[in-house]
C-alpha cells in the first residue's frame, strides 16, 4: 500500500505584534516548554512541525522531545525519544517559517495524546501563539527535556510555536480542515478534552478526520485577532496535506467586535452585503483549489455578557446572512445550520441554556456535541 503524509493535528497562530489580543503574548529564555496535542488520525509513522509564523527572528531549539502524555505535565519515559531535524538534535525555526522533524518510525493512533517538549536556550522574544490551545502547557527553568515531570513548573495558558503533527497514512486518506473563529477553535469547551465541535464531529467519521484552524476573535474581513480569514487561506488551508474538504464558521466577530472594542457604538461593523461578498470570495477561492466547501450559519449570541458586542444592527445582519446561507444562491457545496442546532426554541437569537457556556456567545461541551450531531455525515465523504 502506498502511503503519504497527512495532517493529524494543526494549530492556527496569532502574531504577537497585533493591536488586539485575547491573551498576553510571551517569550521564553533558558526554559523548557511542554505542550500536548491529540491526534485526529493515525498512521505508521509521525513527524512534528514547529512554526515561527509572524516571527521576525529565528528561534533556537536547543532540543526537542516527544512522549506519550500521562497527566498534567507528566510523560511516560518509556515512550520518550529525541526529535531530530535533518539528523541533528538542535535547530532553528526560521523567521516567518516552519521546522519539520525527521520521521518518527513508530505507529500512532487516532485519539493518542502526545507531549512535545522544547528546550529554548536563547531569548525568543514574544512568540506567535494561540489563545485557546488543546490544553494548558507548562514551562520550567533550564533544560528538562526528558524529565518525567517538570521541576518548578508554571502553567502556560497559551499555545506556542503552532505545534502540528503529520502521520504517514494510505495515500487515498482525505481530511477536512475546520476553518474559522472561536466556534471552530472550541473556546469555552473543556481544555484537554478536545471537545470543539469539529473535534467531536471528527470522532463520528469512519474514514478520514478533521483538523482545526480556528482562531478565537478572528474575523472574515478585517485583521484584528489574527489575520482575517481571507488572508489565512493559503497557509492555513491550502498547505494542509491530505485536505479535500473545508468546514467554515466565521462572521460573528465581524458583527460584534467593533462594538465590543468601542461600545456602545459599533465603529466599523460590516453590512450583511459585505459578509455575503466575503463569504462568496472565500467559497469560490477554496472551490477553485479543488476543495469541497461546507459553510455554516452564524451562531446565536443575543444577550452575550461582552458589552457592546450585541447590537440591533449586528443581529439584523446575522439574520440576513443566515437567510442567504439557507437559501439557494450561496456558493458553498453545502451548509450546516449551526445556529439551529444550539438556538433556544423560544428565542432563536439566544443560545439554548443547556448549551450556553455562560457568556451567551460560546457553546459548552454539550453545545459542541449538539452541533456535531446535527451534521449530516454524507457531507464529509472523505
What is the chain's alpha carbon radius of gyration, rounded to the nearest angstrom? 20
Go through the chain and tell me how many residues it has: 382
DSSP 54-82: T-SS-EEESEEEEEEB-STT-B-GGG-EE
Indicate the residue among 138, 165, 192 that finishes a domain.
Answer: 165
Does a structural domain hold residue 230? yes
Cα angle for residues 314, 317, 319 (degrees, 5° grid): 110
Query: What percentage of the chain's residues is helix, strand, coil (to nearest 5)?
Result: 25, 30, 50
Q: Give the pLDDT score at 4.
A: 98
Does a structural domain hold residue 141? yes
Cell of 195: 471537545
The answer on 185 and 158 residing in a single domain is no
Using CA of residue 341, residue 345, residue 351, residue 356, what is the dihedral sign?
Answer: negative
Q: Are 66 and 172 in contact (CB under 8 A)?
A: no
First CA to last CA across the chain, in angstroms? 18
Indicate the residue among 165, 195, 226 that finishes a domain.
Answer: 165
The answer on 341 and 222 residing in a single domain is yes
Q: Give the pLDDT score at 264.
A: 60
Q: Strand pairing partners for 120?
A: 31
Whose CA is closest to 127, among 139, 143, 144, 142? Answer: 139
Does a structural domain hold residue 116? yes
The answer on 183 and 152 residing in a single domain is no
Q: Give the pLDDT score at 21.
A: 82
Q: Are 132 and 158 in contact (CB under 8 A)?
A: no
Does a structural domain hold residue 5? no
The answer on 155 and 179 residing in a single domain is no
User: How deeply is 100 buried, as exposed, middle or buried, from its count of CB atoms within 10 A (0-12, 13-18, 19+)?
Assistant: middle
Contacts of 226 (CB under 8 A, 6+ apart): 12, 13, 14, 15, 18, 215, 217, 218, 232
Does a structural domain hold residue 1? no
Indicate the residue among 140, 165, 190 that finishes a domain.
Answer: 165
Count of the separate structural domains present in the chain: 2
The answer on 258 and 111 residing in a single domain is no
Cα angle for residues 379, 365, 138 (degrees, 5° grid): 110
The answer on 160 and 178 residing in a single domain is no
pTM of the model: 0.97
Q: Which domain holds residue 90?
A: 10-165
The answer on 243 and 109 residing in a single domain is no
The answer on 181 and 143 residing in a single domain is no
State the Cα torsion 188-191-194-198 to the nearest 10°.
20
Q: Are 209 and 377 in contact (CB under 8 A)?
A: no
User: How deeply is 336 buried, as exposed, middle or buried, from its count of CB atoms within 10 A (0-12, 13-18, 19+)?
Assistant: buried
Q: Give the pLDDT score at 266.
A: 66
The answer on 135 and 254 residing in a single domain is no
The answer on 37 and 154 residing in a single domain is yes
Cβ atoms within 10 Å of 290's Cβ, excluding its own: 9
Whose CA is closest to 120, among 67, 59, 66? Answer: 59
- For residue 276, the domain's CATH number is 3.40.50.1110
The answer on 201 and 84 residing in a single domain is no
Does a structural domain hold residue 4? no
Which stretch of DSSP H or E encloses residue 340? helix 338-342
Cell of 337: 445550520
Does a structural domain hold residue 161? yes
Q: Give the pLDDT score at 18.
A: 76
Contacts of 182 (CB under 8 A, 6+ apart): 132, 188, 214, 215, 216, 217, 218, 253, 361, 362
Pairing of strands 129-130, 91-93: unpaired
The phi and psi torsions of 137 (rounded to 5 degrees) equal: -95, 180
Q: Give the pLDDT score at 265.
A: 59
The answer on 78 and 204 residing in a single domain is no
Does a structural domain hold residue 350? yes
Mapped onto helix, strand or coil, the DSSP state of residue 367 is helix
List the chain pLDDT tens, one digit each, 382 residues: 899 999 999 999 999 987 688 888 999 999 999 999 999 999 999 999 999 999 999 999 999 999 999 999 999 999 999 999 999 999 999 999 999 999 999 999 999 999 999 999 999 999 999 999 999 999 999 999 999 999 999 999 999 999 999 999 999 999 999 999 999 999 999 999 999 999 999 999 999 999 999 999 999 999 999 999 999 999 999 999 999 999 999 999 999 999 998 766 566 789 999 999 999 999 999 999 999 999 999 999 999 999 999 999 999 999 999 999 999 999 999 999 999 999 999 999 999 999 999 999 999 999 999 999 999 999 998 7
Cell of 364: 459548552
Amino acid at each position: 500500500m502506498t502511503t503519504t503524509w497527512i495532517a493529524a493535528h494543526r494549530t492556527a497562530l496569532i502574531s504577537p505584534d497585533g493591536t488586539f489580543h485575547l491573551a498576553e503574548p510571551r517569550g521564553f529564555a533558558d526554559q523548557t516548554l511542554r505542550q500536548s496535542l491529540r491526534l485526529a488520525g493515525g498512521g505508521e509513522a509521525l513527524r512534528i512541525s514547529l512554526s515561527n509564523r509572524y516571527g521576525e527572528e529565528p528561534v533556537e531549539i536547543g532540543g526537542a522531545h516527544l512522549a506519550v502524555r500521562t497527566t498534567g505535565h507528566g510523560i511516560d519515559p518509556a515512550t520518550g525519544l529525541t526529535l531530530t531535524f535533518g539528523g541533528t538534535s538542535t535547530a532553528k525555526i526560521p523567521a516567518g517559517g516552519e521546522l519539520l522533524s525527521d520521521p518518527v518510525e513508530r505507529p500512532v493512533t487516532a485519539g493518542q495524546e502526545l507531549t512535545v517538549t522544547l528546550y529554548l536556550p536563547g531569548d525568543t522574544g514574544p512568540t506567535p501563539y494561540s489563545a485557546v490551545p488543546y490544553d494548558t502547557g507548562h514551562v520550567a527553568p533550564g533544560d528538562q527535556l526528558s524529565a518525567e515531570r517538570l521541576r518548578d513548573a508554571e502553567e502556560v495558558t497559551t499555545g506556542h510555536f503552532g505545534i502540528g503533527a503529520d502521520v504517514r497514512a494510505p495515500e487515498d486518506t482525505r481530511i477536512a480542515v475546520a476553518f474559522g473563529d472561536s466556534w471552530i477553535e472550541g473556546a469555552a469547551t473543556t481544555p484537554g478534552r478536545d471537545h470543539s465541535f469539529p473535534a467531536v464531529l471528527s470522532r463520528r467519521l469512519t474514514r478520514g478526520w478533521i483538523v482545526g484552524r480556528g482562531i478565537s476573535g478572528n474575523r472574515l474581513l478585517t485583521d484584528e485577532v489574527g489575520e482575517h480569514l481571507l488572508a489565512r487561506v493559503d497557509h492555513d488551508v491550502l498547505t494542509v496535506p491530505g485536505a479535500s474538504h473545508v468546514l467554515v464558521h466565521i462572521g460573528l466577530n465581524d458583527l460584534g467586535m467593533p462594538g465590543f472594542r468601542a461600545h456602545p457604538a459599533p465603529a466599523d461593523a460590516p453590512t450583511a452585503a459585505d459578509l455575503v461578498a466575503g463569504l462568496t470570495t472565500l467559497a469560490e477561492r477554496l472551490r477553485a483549489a479543488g476543495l469541497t466547501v461546507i459553510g455554516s450559519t452564524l451562531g446565536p449570541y443575543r444577550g452575550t455578557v461582552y458589552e457592546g458586542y450585541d447590537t440591533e444592527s449586528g443581529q439584523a445582519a446575522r439574520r440576513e446572512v443566515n437567510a442567504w446561507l439557507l437559501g439557494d444562491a450561496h456558493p458553498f457545496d453545502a451548509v450546516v445550520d449551526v445556529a439551529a442546532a444550539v438556538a433556544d426554541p423560544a428565542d432563536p437569537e439566544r443560545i439554548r441554556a443547556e448549551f450556553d457556556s455562560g457568556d451567551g456567545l460560546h457553546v459548552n461541551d454539550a453545545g459542541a456535541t449538539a452541533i456535531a450531531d446535527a451534521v449530516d455525515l454524507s457531507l464529509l465523504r472523505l
